[in-house]
Amino acid sequence: MPGTLTDIINFVIQTALALVGLDYARVPEMLRIGAAMLIACAAMLGYVAVVALFFGWAERRVAGRMQARQGPNIVGPFGLLQLIADAVKILVKEDIIPQTAHRFLFRLAPILVFMGAFAPFVVLPFSETLVVSNLSLGVYYALSFAALEVVGVIMAGWASNNKWSLYGGMRLAAQMMSYEIPMGLAVLTVAVLSGHLNLRTIVLDQQGHWIFSWNIFRGFPWAFLGMFAFYLAGLAGSKRTPFDLPEAESEIVAGYHTEYSGMRFVIFYLSEYATMYVVSALTAVLFLGGWHAPIPRVLAWGGEVHWEAGPVLSALIGMANMIGKSFFLMFVMLWFRWTYPRVRVDQIVYLCMKVLVPLGIICLIGASVWALVL
Amino acid sequence: MSSQASALVRYGQTVWRAVVSCTLGLGVTLKHLFSRPVTVEYPKALPDVPEGWRGWHAYETDRCTMCRLCEQVCPVQCIRLEVEGKGKERKLVRYEIHYGLCLFCNLCAEVCPTACLWMTADWDLACYRRADCTIRFHETNPDEQRKRLWPGMKDLPARAPKKPRETAPAEKAQNP
Amino acid sequence: MVQSLKTDEILVNMGPQHPSTHGVLRCLLKTDGEWVREVWPYIGYLHRCKEKIAEKVSYIQFMPYTDRLDYLASANNNLGWAMAVERLAAIEVPERAVWLRVLAAELNRIASHLLSYGTFGMEAGAFTPFFYGFRERETIVSIFDQLCGARLTYHYARIGGVMRDLSPETAKAIRRFLDEMDRRWVEYNTLLSDNEIFVRRTANVGIIPADLAIAYGLTGPVLRGSGVAHDIRKAVPYACYPKLDFQVCIGQGLKGTVGDSWDRYWVRMLEIRESVKICRQVLDGLPEGPYQTKVPRILKVPANEAYVRTEAPRGELGFYVISDGTDKPWRCRIRAPSFCNLSILNRIARNCLVADVIMILGSIDVVMGEVDR
């Protein structure tokens, strides 16, 4: 089996060490794994930052054009460097902690939130080889870490000692509690169809007949409906419009991050985009065939002929497919945000409990029947 | 039983309505995504200011008869006028407008019997200090004073000084 | 265990600096979790002594001050003040001026309702309607640019006429805009009015029954949203409105109950269409003639009193002026529609969610410049 990202990194380290005359085999195993993990994490962190920067720009640009205005277009070509300018501005801002805030929890909260948003990146496969950790319970891991975010947000809401922040925290608690369920049900639909919880295997399972072997068509209509349930639940999980109640600026000022500024605010901002990416990438992996191109046989882009194109090229092509799909789904999130009003706090629970959960259960039962019959 | 069935139908209708209306809404924003923005990129492109805009005043000392009507009609007393001498010797020593107070209501221009005070299409009125809000029209060049307020103003295309409107019906109508 | 948990209602200050309190309104909310038990609006943050100023400046000089009452509907305020003074001083206004004033007022009504549409969408969480509303409003504002030279504080009406005549180019621009508006109106509804999320947010929220609306002295779209067909333009016809054909739009509970937030919003949307209709008629039927009559520069008004009611975008705008024979009013009392409409807030925003309070406040559509005066 071709190696995962960790193996590739190991190979790179080995080569590098060989160049300076060191024998890789003599390095203790713990150190080797540790180094590989560190490098993989750094790569992922860089990727998250780039995605967040790019979508921070895209969000404003898309919003601008949808609202018949320009969006950022001064700094750099098409305003692409706007976010860098903003990052510099925001980093030199004064870091304010309100006097009455709980200082320790106030500082801890953004870290927890970011951890919850960042951890799922470990199991996201970018191509057949490019996955940091090929966990056999990948989906489970991703979902459980995504739930960590709510702890951080409630912490931020409470520690700020601001009533609006508290509202934001409590709203998110209600929201996340409800949306874990349909999300889990939708994932189960896929799990039943493919019989795996390993994200890489789930994608490998979807190769074959163009888009028709992707889960959304393979398990038609169950996985198709399941995708909507998953995506909507994911939208709620990443606090995006129409489910952006925890930070509803017209109601509760800025929700849980009302009191945050400077670097700490950036971390919240970063984790929002990271979560968006995770949800989009998971949707792509679970339902949209992951790294498989929509038209497999053309130019040997397909999964089964990956290795004919050579390991590097096929990894790149797979990555391009995967990122393209994720970015499209993220664009849909932006599109939603600049089109829809926000739902109310009781409606979000209504939507979850009375629409998405029944939908998820129907999908699950349907998929189970299909799995038995077909 | 039938009430439950009708409730289910209503539920289905609601979900369907939500899906349809939300999809239609997406179409509107998508259409705008690919259409031209309406923004005027301000520092690069200047807004199209029509004639008859009520901006900075223009004032012609020569034609002024020092009747003080503008000073009297101003609702906020932002015009200050000082005259020295008597009869034929009357001389204007001070004509100031405080733009921090001015309402841009055009009453002063309408009341002027000789149409020596009128409002122009100059619209960039920002300044940094309160003292700069006062423009001394009795001094040599009020335009220079304005330029001093805001260095960026020099980059803007020069505006031709406006002649008073040919028909000044408001003035005529309000003059007894 | 649950019994021993101490729960309490908390008081939250919404405003005076809050993203959706329309300026500087401060609402004190008594909340039980997300449930709002009671709302007390506190006003006065934008008080500028307008009524006292009216006693200190002349009738002519007070006109630009009326621009700043309801700063989103300057032309309507001007119209009201001009009519009040003209009734006191018995000034005959040329027919053309009357029509031009109505044109300005109706254009301003569209602009005001567009802004209300945008901010209401914004309060519901949708940003884009705000920009669309502002885009069309910008066109109106540019028309006012040409018409009277200002973009916000129009000061278009004068005692005894209007400031400037309507030029053919401006008339053409207005016609272009009205056609544009017809197209956009449909788009607005697709984007916001019919959106199920928006409907769910506003329908059955903040219901004002008709009798309650009358009891609280509500006027304008807030009253008509409750199904009461009361419009000063029809009830006490003034200016050239009797000659124009338009309808009084009322809330019918299309999406929920009569008198809910959606109805109030929908009445505004319908009024935009009616105003477009009125503007077309005014442009078609604009009589020729002078646009200003001779008014003495120092206008001495015989001792008398007058109350003039006009239909501003937010409701009945009343100017009660007492003159004492000098050139200044002895007393001027302004009946501001927003002020009266705001009084219902405490009554209807009870036992609802925080998000509902925002929607109710948005549907009442207050302008603090007018509430505080």
pLDDT of residue B161: 47
d(CA A329, CA A321): 12
Q: Shortest Cα distance from B4 to chain C (angstroms)?
A: 21
The answer to whether the Cβ–Cβ distance between B35 and A338 falls below 8 Å is: no
Q: Does A100 touch chain B (CB under 8 A)?
A: no
Q: Return the H-helix or E-strand segment holding B117.
A: strand B117-119
Tokens representing residue B82 in the block: 């000082």
Using pLDDT thresholds of 50, 70 and 90, give the confidence band for residue B170.
very low
pLDDT of residue A24: 66
| Residues of chain A positioned with their CB less than 8 A from the CB of B37 | 64-65, 68-70
The answer to whether the Cβ–Cβ distance between C195 and B174 falls below 8 Å is: no
- Is it the case that residue B138 has pLDDT exceeding 80? no
The answer to whether the Cβ–Cβ distance between A163 and C12 falls below 8 Å is: yes
What residues in chain C have their Cβ under 8 A from chain A's Cβ atoms?
Answer: 10, 12, 18-20, 33-34, 121-128, 130-132, 135, 191-192, 195, 197-198, 200-201, 353-356, 358
Tokens representing residue B37 in the block: 């923005």
pLDDT of residue B153: 45
Q: Shortest Cα distance from B55 to chain C (angstroms)?
A: 8
**CB count, 10 Å around CB of A130?**
20
Instruction: Give start and end residues of each alpha helix (H) in C57-164.
Output: 59-67, 74-89, 95-124, 128-148
- Produce one character per residue of B86-125: b if its CB has 16 or more CB atoms within 10 Å, e if not: eeeeeebeebbbbbeebbbbbbbbbbbbebbbbbbbbeeb
pLDDT of residue A5: 62
The answer to whether the Cβ–Cβ distance between B32 and A354 falls below 8 Å is: no
Report the CATH architecture of C50-372. Orthogonal Bundle (1.10)
- Which B residues, 52 through 91, put their C-beta within 8 Å of a C-beta on chain C? 52-54, 69, 73-75
d(CA C14, CA C12): 6
Q: Does B30 touch chain A (CB under 8 A)?
A: yes
User: Domain residue spans in chain A?
Assistant: 96-373
DSSP C292: B
Q: Does A71 touch chain C (CB under 8 A)?
A: no
| Residues of chain C positioned with their CB less than 8 A from the CB of A258 | none
User: Domain residue spans in chain B?
Assistant: 1-37, 57-149
Using pLDDT thresholds of 50, 70 and 90, give the confidence band for residue B55.
confident
Which of C61, C145, C295 is nearest residue B174 as measured by Cβ atoms? Answer: C295
The answer to whether the Cβ–Cβ distance between C200 and A344 falls below 8 Å is: yes
| Residues of chain A positioned with their CB less than 8 A from the CB of B41 | 70, 73
The answer to whether the Cβ–Cβ distance between B29 and A335 falls below 8 Å is: yes
Tens-digit pLDDT profile for chain A (374 aa)?
A: 345 566 666 667 777 777 777 666 676 777 777 777 777 778 888 888 888 888 888 888 888 888 888 888 878 788 788 888 888 888 888 888 888 888 888 888 888 888 888 888 888 887 776 677 777 787 888 888 877 888 888 888 888 888 888 888 888 888 888 888 888 888 888 888 888 788 877 887 777 666 677 777 777 788 888 888 888 888 888 888 788 888 877 788 888 888 888 888 888 888 888 888 888 988 888 888 777 777 655 444 444 444 455 666 677 777 888 888 889 999 998 889 888 888 888 888 888 888 888 888 988 888 888 878 76
d(CA C82, CA C87): 8
Question: At a CB cut-off of 8 Å and minimum separation 6, what does B143 contact?
Answer: none
Residue pair C89/C301 in contact (Cβ under 8 Å)? The answer is yes
Chains in touch with B (3+ beta-carbon pairs under 8 Å) read: A, C
Residue B75, preceding peptide bond in cis (omega within 30° of 0): no
Residues of chain C with pLDDT under 50: none
Residues in chain C: 373
Q: Does C326 touch chain B (CB under 8 A)?
A: no
Question: At a CB cut-off of 8 Å and minimum separation 6, what does C76 contact?
Answer: C70, C105, C108, C109, C112, C310, C311, C312, C313, C317
Q: Shortest Cα distance from C23 to chain A (angstroms)?
A: 13
Structure ipTM = 0.81
Q: Tally B–C CB contacts below 8 A.
A: 91
Instruction: Give start and end residues of each alpha helix (H) in B34-80.
Output: 69-73
Q: Does C69 touch chain B (CB under 8 A)?
A: no
Looking at the DSSP bridge assignments, the partners of residue B97 are B79, B135
pLDDT of residue C113: 92
Tokens representing residue C106 in the block: 């109706």
Nearest CA in chain A to B44: A74
| Residues of chain A positioned with their CB less than 8 A from the CB of B16 | none
Chain B interface test: which of A60, A61, A65 (most B C-beta within 10 Å) = A65
| Residues of chain A positioned with their CB less than 8 A from the CB of C353 | 344-346
Q: Does B110 touch chain C (CB under 8 A)?
A: yes
Nearest CA in chain B to C135: B38
Chains in touch with C (3+ beta-carbon pairs under 8 Å) read: A, B
d(CA C318, CA C80): 7
Q: Shortest Cα distance from B40 to chain C (angstroms)?
A: 11
Tokens representing residue A329 in the block: 């789904």
pLDDT of residue A10: 67
pLDDT of residue B85: 78
B82-95 pLDDT, tens digit each = 888 777 777 778 88
The share of chain C scoring above pLDDT 90, in percent, equals 12
Which of A242, A339, A347 is nearest residue C128 as measured by Cβ atoms? Answer: A339
Instruction: Give start and end residues of each alpha helix (H) in A100-214.
Output: 103-118, 138-146, 148-159, 163-194, 199-205
d(CA C346, CA C338): 14
Using pLDDT thresholds of 50, 70 and 90, give the confidence band for residue B147.
low
Q: Tally A–C CB contacts below 8 A.
A: 83
Chain A interface test: which of B15, B24, B29 (most A C-beta within 10 Å) = B29
Question: At a CB cut-off of 8 Å and minimum separation 6, what does A372 contact?
Answer: none
pTM of the model: 0.85
The answer to whether the Cβ–Cβ distance between B25 and A340 falls below 8 Å is: yes
**CB count, 10 Å around CB of C367?**
27
The answer to whether the Cβ–Cβ distance between C201 and A250 falls below 8 Å is: no
Whole-angstrom CA distances from A220 to A373, C139, C227 are 14, 49, 48
- Is it the case that residue B60 has pLDDT exceeding 80? no
Q: Does B104 touch chain A (CB under 8 A)?
A: no
Distance of CA C93 to the CA centre of its chain: 25
d(CA C279, CA C175): 8
| Residues of chain A positioned with their CB less than 8 A from the CB of C261 | none
The answer to whether the Cβ–Cβ distance between C192 and A341 falls below 8 Å is: yes
The answer to whether the Cβ–Cβ distance between B25 and A70 falls below 8 Å is: no
Using pLDDT thresholds of 50, 70 and 90, give the confidence band for residue B149.
low
The answer to whether the Cβ–Cβ distance between A336 and B26 falls below 8 Å is: yes
Give CATH for domain B57-149: 3.30.70.3270
pLDDT of residue C266: 92
Q: Does A66 touch chain B (CB under 8 A)?
A: yes
- Produce one character per residue of C22-53: b if its CB has 16 or more CB atoms within 10 Å, e if not: bbbbbbebebeebebeebebebebbeeebeeb
Distance of CA B148 to the CA centre of its chain: 20
Whole-angstrom CA distances from C137 to B25, B32, B52, C129, C238 are 21, 17, 20, 12, 26
The answer to whether the Cβ–Cβ distance between A340 and B22 falls below 8 Å is: yes
**Mean pLDDT calculated for residue range B22-46:** 83
Tokens representing residue A141 in the block: 């891991």
| Residues of chain A positioned with their CB less than 8 A from the CB of C131 | 67-69
Chains in touch with A (3+ beta-carbon pairs under 8 Å) read: B, C
Q: Shortest Cα distance from B17 to chain A (angstroms)?
A: 13
Q: Does A88 touch chain B (CB under 8 A)?
A: no
The answer to whether the Cβ–Cβ distance between C34 and A170 falls below 8 Å is: yes
Residues in chain B: 176
Q: Does A350 touch chain B (CB under 8 A)?
A: no
Q: Shortest Cα distance from A290 to chain C (angstroms)?
A: 32
**Residues C356, C360, C363, C365, Cα dihedral to 10°:** -130
| Residues of chain C positioned with their CB less than 8 A from the CB of B69 | 297
DSSP C152: S
d(CA B24, CA B22): 5
Q: Return the H-helix or E-strand segment holding C39.
A: strand C35-42
Tokens representing residue C85 in the block: 């003074």
The answer to whether the Cβ–Cβ distance between A341 and C20 falls below 8 Å is: no
d(CA A63, CA C97): 43
Question: At a CB cut-off of 8 Å and minimum separation 6, what does A250 contact?
Answer: A342, C19, C20, C122, C123, C124, C125, C358
Which of B27, B73, B176 is nearest residue C296 as measured by Cβ atoms? Answer: B176
d(CA B148, CA C363): 46
Nearest CA in chain A to B26: A339
B162 against C191, higher pLDDT: C191
DSSP A80: T
Q: Shortest Cα distance from C126 to chain A (angstroms)?
A: 4
Tokens representing residue B49 in the block: 């200011």
